[in-house]
């Protein structure tokens, strides 16, 4: 049993994704409980993997007992298991939140939800849960696999699910956003596929550990370089690295809020995890030269992204758009952690993946609660929201603290490591930039918090709002908000193994 945990964690949601729509033909109400149960199982399996991975450094599992490099290998290192726990936990919370969000019932006083009541017709609900399970399985597979083609397959599966999830309301704006997203992401995927086939053509292998050796000794160094750049570009589109981010604001703000939470919290991070993975596990032997110019390019792109994302977020008047631009900024932080090519900075970047993932998912879910309860999407309409929706507003405020990086939140720990890392690698200027970014984050986050808590509602607004979101929605946001605080305080349990793992990765493991 214990040696099969990794594959069970991935296959369970994959199978359930097929089962949920079938079962729903007869039992409409079973979709959500099934999804929740399956995701809990995934979470438990991923968590059980942690001690195993910590004991042995990494876990290698051969699918169907075919030995690598011929068979497919799952290779779960600490980064992988870290991401698996994060993915299954956030997916579970999003699923719980979705129950009332996509199937609102009438409140006690007879008032229904404003938004999504019509768009999310009943027959779409099983499909929604099925896609949720599928995308979870794809992400779990993506971070766990040790085979580069397998990685690509999961990557595409994830991408296709996310187009569908963005477009699921079926109205004009989400569909347009999904198409825009596709127009960027499909060519990017093709680039990645081209890169993998180039790599295969010169090395004859697809197993990453195997490739690392072969690519290092290959005579076709130019092909290797080209394949690397293509792969990075392919992943960078997904990771919305500046200037390849233009699909992100629309897709993240027009999608249903739980989907936005998934996209911003997890899916964009997969691009960065992909970049880290291929850079160090496949092309590791080519560093620090001759490929290190790529990381420098990413570093400067990240620096621009931080400023650009922050300025754009400050300029927004639409709540979800603001949160989406904030994601671009935070992806800048994470990319910076990678681009500095320093262990400490990389630890900061990866910690930020988690800290930002949790906090941003929370912000989008809060936005979803507010929009579905009140119909207000503009920031200026949020004045006085605290009086009607106290729990949601408190969750929003706590998550904001993490986004800004106020101690002791997870965002603070990430920034601490990023700045230390930039001092380490001799770029104090970038460290100052990270902190300047957090001042700007304070501007856009605290503006919303200030409106919610300290201003009275303007005119008639909020008069007709019936009150707090249902317990499952408010609870989901609060759990994420508390987690973003707890992950800052509990960082000492996560950081040492993470630092070890990053050290091994940077050394070409």
Using rule CB under 8 A, residue 496 touches another protein:
yes
Q: CA angle, 492 as apex, 491 and 494 as ends, to 5°?
A: 65
Instruction: Compute the least distance from the CB of residue 296 to another protein, in Å.
Output: 21
> Which residues lie across from 75 on neighbouring strands?
60
Instruction: Compute the least distance from the CB of residue 423 to another protein, in Å.
Output: 4
Residue range at the interface with another protein (CB under 8 A); choices 6-14, 166-174, 287-295, 483-491: 483-491
Burial 240-259 (b: 16+ CB within 10 A, else e): bbbebbebbbbbbbbbbbbb
Residue range at the interface with another protein (CB under 8 A); choices 124-132, 302-310, 327-335, 494-502: 494-502
Interacting residue with another protein among 185, 442, 478, 480 (CB under 8 A): 442
Query: Half-sphere exposure of residue 226, counting CA atoms within 13 Å on the CB side?
Result: 14
Residue closer to another protein (CB basis): 372 or 491: 491
Q: CA angle, 312 as apex, 324 and 452 as ends, to 5°?
A: 65
CA distance 326 to 288: 31
The continuous run of DSSP H or E covering 96 comes out as: helix 78-102
CA distance 440 to 63: 48
Interacting residue with another protein among 126, 349, 491, 502 (CB under 8 A): 491
Residue closer to another protein (CB basis): 22 or 489: 489
The continuous run of DSSP H or E covering 59 comes out as: strand 58-62
**Do 181 and 247 touch, CB atoms closer than 8 A?**
yes
Residue closer to another protein (CB basis): 52 or 424: 424
Q: Is 121 helix (H, G, I), strand (E, B) or coil?
A: coil
Instruction: Compute the least distance from the CB of residue 424 to another protein, in Å.
Output: 7
Interacting residue with another protein among 243, 436, 458, 464 (CB under 8 A): 436
- The helix, strand and coil proportions of the chain, stated in percent and rounded to the nearest 5, come to 80, 5, 20
Using rule CB under 8 A, residue 179 touches another protein:
no
Instruction: Compute the least distance from the CB of residue 443 to another protein, in Å.
Output: 8
CA distance 203 to 211: 7
Using rule CB under 8 A, residue 432 touches another protein:
yes
Q: Which of residues 285-344 bind another protein (CB under 8 A)?
A: none
Using rule CB under 8 A, residue 383 touches another protein:
no
Residue closer to another protein (CB basis): 463 or 492: 492
Closest to 188 (Cα-Cα) out of 222, 232, 158, 143: 232
Using rule CB under 8 A, residue 396 touches another protein:
no
Residue closer to another protein (CB basis): 281 or 438: 438
Q: Please state, as a whole number, how many other Cβ atoms lie within 10 Å of the Cβ of residue 384.
A: 18
Using rule CB under 8 A, residue 33 touches another protein:
no
Q: For 58, phi and psi rounded to 5 degrees?
A: -150, 165
Instruction: Compute the least distance from the CB of residue 397 to another protein, in Å.
Output: 10
Instruction: Compute the least distance from the CB of residue 429 to another protein, in Å.
Output: 11
C-alpha distances out from residue 398 to 134, 234, 299, 385, Å: 30, 34, 29, 15
Interacting residue with another protein among 23, 41, 153, 495 (CB under 8 A): 495
Using rule CB under 8 A, residue 435 touches another protein:
yes
Q: Which of residues 399-428 bind another protein (CB under 8 A)?
A: 406-408, 413, 415-417, 419-420, 423-424, 428
Residue closer to another protein (CB basis): 216 or 390: 390
Q: Which of residues 34-63 bind another protein (CB under 8 A)?
A: none
CA distance 396 to 478: 8
Specify the length of the chain in residues.
Answer: 509
Instruction: Compute the least distance from the CB of residue 28 to another protein, in Å.
Output: 40
> Which residues lie across from 318 on neighbouring strands?
378
Residue range at the interface with another protein (CB under 8 A); choices 67-75, 80-88, 167-175, 452-460: 452-460
Interacting residue with another protein among 141, 431, 457, 470 (CB under 8 A): 431
CA distance 333 to 313: 15
Binding residues with another protein: total (CB under 8 A): 31
Residue closer to another protein (CB basis): 68 or 349: 349
Instruction: Compute the least distance from the CB of residue 199 to another protein, in Å.
Output: 37
Q: Please state, as a whole number, how many other Cβ atoms lie within 10 Å of the Cβ of residue 118.
A: 8
Name the site residues for another protein (rule: CB under 8 A): 406-408, 413, 415-417, 419-420, 423-424, 428, 431-432, 435-436, 438-439, 442, 446, 450, 453-455, 488-489, 491-492, 495-496, 499
């Amino acid at each position: 049993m214990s040696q099969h945990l990794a594959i069970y964690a991935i296959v369970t949601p994959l199978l359930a994704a097929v089962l949920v729509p079938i079962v729903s033909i007869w039992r409409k109400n079973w979709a959500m409980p099934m999804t929740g149960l399956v995701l809990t199982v995934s979470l438990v399996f991923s968590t059980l993997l942690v001690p195993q991975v910590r004991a042995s450094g990494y876990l290698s599992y051969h699918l169907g007992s075919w030995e690598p490099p011929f068979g497919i290998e799952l290779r779960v290192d600490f980064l992988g298991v870290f991401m698996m726990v994060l993915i299954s936990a956030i997916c579970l919370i999003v699923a719980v939140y979705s129950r009332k969000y996509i199937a609102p019932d009438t409140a006690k006083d007879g008032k229904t939800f404003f938004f999504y009541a019509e768009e999310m017709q009943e027959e779409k609900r099983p499909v929604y849960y099925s896609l949720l399970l599928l995308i979870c399985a794809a992400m779990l597979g993506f971070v766990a696999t040790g085979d580069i083609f397998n990685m690509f397959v999961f990557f595409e599966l994830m991408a296709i699910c996310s187009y569908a999830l963005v477009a699921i309301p079926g109205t004009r704006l989400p569909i347009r956003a999904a198409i825009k997203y596709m127009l960027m992401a499909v060519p990017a995927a093709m680039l990645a596929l081209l890169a993998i086939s180039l790599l295969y053509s010169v090395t004859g292998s697809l197993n990453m550990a195997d490739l690392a050796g072969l690519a290092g000794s290959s005579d076709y160094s130019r092909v290797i370089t080209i394949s690397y750049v293509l792969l990075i570009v392919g992943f960078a589109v997904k990771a919305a690295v500046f200037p390849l981010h233009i699909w992100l604001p629309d897709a993240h703000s027009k999608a249903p809020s739980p989907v936005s939470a998934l996209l911003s919290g997890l899916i964009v991070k997969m691009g960065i995890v992909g970049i880290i993975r291929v850079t160090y596990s496949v092309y590791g032997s080519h560093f620090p030269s001759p490929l290190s110019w790529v990381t420098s390019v990413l570093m400067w792109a990240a620096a621009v992204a931080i400023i650009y994302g922050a300025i754009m977020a400050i300029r927004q008047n639409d709540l979800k758009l603001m949160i989406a631009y904030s994601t671009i900024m935070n992806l800048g932080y994470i990319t910076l952690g990678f681009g500095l090519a320093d262990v400490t900075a990389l630890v900061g970047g990866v910690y930020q993946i988690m800290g930002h993932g949790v906090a941003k998912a929370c912000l989008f879910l809060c936005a979803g609660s507010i929009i579905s309860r009140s119909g207000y999407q503009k920031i200026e309409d949020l004045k006085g929201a605290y009086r009607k929706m106290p729990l949601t507003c408190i969750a929003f405020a706590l998550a904001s603290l993490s986004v800004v990086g106020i101690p002791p939140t997870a965002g603070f720990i990430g920034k601490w490591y990023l700045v230390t890392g930039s001092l380490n690698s001799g770029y104090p200027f970038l460290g100052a930039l990270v902190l300047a970014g957090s001042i700007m984050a304070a501007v856009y986050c605290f503006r919303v918090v200030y409106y919610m808590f300290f201003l009275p509602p303007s005119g008639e607004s909020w008069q007709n709002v019936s009150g707090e979101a249902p317990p499952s929605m408010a609870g989901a946001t609060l759990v994420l908000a508390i987690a973003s605080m707890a992950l800052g305080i509990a960082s000492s349990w996560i950081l040492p193994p993470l630092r070890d793992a990053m050290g091994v990765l940077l050394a070409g493991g």
